[in-house]
Amino acid sequence: MGVALAILAGAAPLVSAPAPSLSARQQAVGAPAPPAPPVEAARVIASYPHDTGAFTQGLFFSDGRLFESTGQHGESAIREVDLATGKVKREAKLPPEYFGEGSTGWGKTIVSLTWKHGKAFRWDRDSFRKLGEFAYPGEGWGLTQDGSSLILSDGSSELRFLDPKTFAEQRRVTVTWRGKPVRQINELEYVRGEILANIWHSGLIARIHPETGAIKGVIDMRPVIASVEVRDSEAVLNGIAWDDRTGKLYVTGKRWPKLFEIALPGS
C-alpha cells in the first residue's frame, strides 16, 4: 500500500501543503507524526453489467432502486438502472448545454449537479419531471446527503453542507490526510456515519469524518481498476452507491463495463 500512502502524502498534486509557519515548525520538532490511517485493498464480492456508454458522475440508491447521473455535453442525463442487467429503465436528458455531474436522492426527489454552470436541478424521482433549479457558486462535482444536509464537492479539498430545500450553505469542512488538505475530491456517498469519496484519477476512495474532514481510512481500488478492460484515460473510478436496505456497497466508473459490489471495511 506504499504507493497509495505516497499519493496522499503529496507525491502527486492531490495534497495542498502550504509551507508551515515558524511556530508550526517549532511545534513539530521532536513531535511524532500522527499515525497514517489504514489503507485497505477493495474486496470484490460480486460484479454486474454496466452501460459502457454511461459517463458516470453520480450513483445512489433510493428505496432500493438504483439511480445514476451521467456527464458530457449532449449526453448528460439522470436514469434509473436495473442492477442485475445494467439496462436503463428510464432516463431524462439534461439540456445539451449542461454537463451533468453528481446526484443524490432526497425523499422522493433527485438533486443533480452541473459542472461549470453553477446550477442544480431537482427532479421528481418517480416521473423524472423537473421540479426546480438552484444556483450555487463554483463548480459541482459530487453530491450526497446525510439525512439532514446535502453534501457537495467541487474538486477542491472543501466539502459544502447545504440546506436540502434552499441549497443555502450551512458549513464547510476541509478534507485532510494527516493534517494536509487533499484536493480533487469527487463523487460522494454517505455510509454509516462517514463520507466515502473518490479522489479523482487516483484509484482511491477516502473515508472521511463528516465533522472534521479528516480521512480516517482509504479503500484502494487500483487492483479492481486494473481488471476493467477500458483504455480511455478518462474512464476513471467515479461512482459509489450504498443500498441501506441490503447493507451493500457498489462502485463503478466512467464507461466501465462492470459495476462491482465491494465489502465495506470493517464489515
Overall average pLDDT of the 26-40 stretch: 67
* pLDDT value of residue 26: 41
Instruction: Give the 3-state DSSP-derived string for 153-198, with helices as H, strands as E and coil as C.
Output: ECCCCEEEEECCCCCCEEEEEECEECCEEECCEEEEEEECCEEEEE
List pLDDT tens digits, range 71-91. 888 889 999 999 999 999 999
- Averaged pLDDT for residues 39-63: 94
Give pLDDT, residue 38.
Answer: 86
The pLDDT, as a whole number, for residue 72 is 85
**Lowest mean per-residue pLDDT among 1-15, 42-56, 134-148, 179-193:** 1-15
d(CA 111, CA 114): 10
What's the mean pLDDT in 137-146? 95
- Quickly list DSSP for the chain: -HHHHHIIIIISTTB--PPPPHHHHHHHTTPPPPPPPPEEE--EEEEEE--TT--EEEEEEETTEEEEEE-STTT-EEEEE-TTT--EEEEEEPPTT--EEEEEEETTEEEEEESSS-EEEEEETTT--EEEEEE-SS----EEE-SS-EEEE-SSSEEEEE-TTT--EEEEEE-EETTEEB--EEEEEEETTEEEEEETTTTEEEEE-TTT-BEEEEEE-HHHHHHS----TT--EEEEEEETTTTEEEEEETT-SEEEEEPPTT-
- What percent of the chain has a predicted confidence (pLDDT) above 90? 72
Share of the chain above pLDDT 70, in %: 87
- Asked if the model's pLDDT at residue 18 lies above 60, the reply is no
- pLDDT value of position 233: 77
**pLDDT score, position 68:** 97
**179-235 pLDDT, tens digit each:** 999 999 999 999 999 999 999 988 899 999 999 999 999 999 999 998 887 777 787
- Sorted by sequence, the CB contacts under 8 Å of residue 36 that are 6+ apart come out as 5, 178
Binning pLDDT at 50, 70 and 90, where does residue 267 land? low
- Binned at pLDDT 50, 70 and 90, residue 169 comes out as very high
Instruction: Measure Cα distances from 180 to 19, 175, 251 in Å.
Output: 11, 8, 26
Q: Binning pLDDT at 50, 70 and 90, where does residue 13 land?
A: very low
Superfamily holding 39-263: YVTN repeat-like/Quinoprotein amine dehydrogenase (2.130.10.10)
C-alpha closest to that of 204 among 151, 251, 155, 143: 251
Statement: residue 160 has pLDDT above 50: yes
Q: How many residues does the chain have?
A: 267
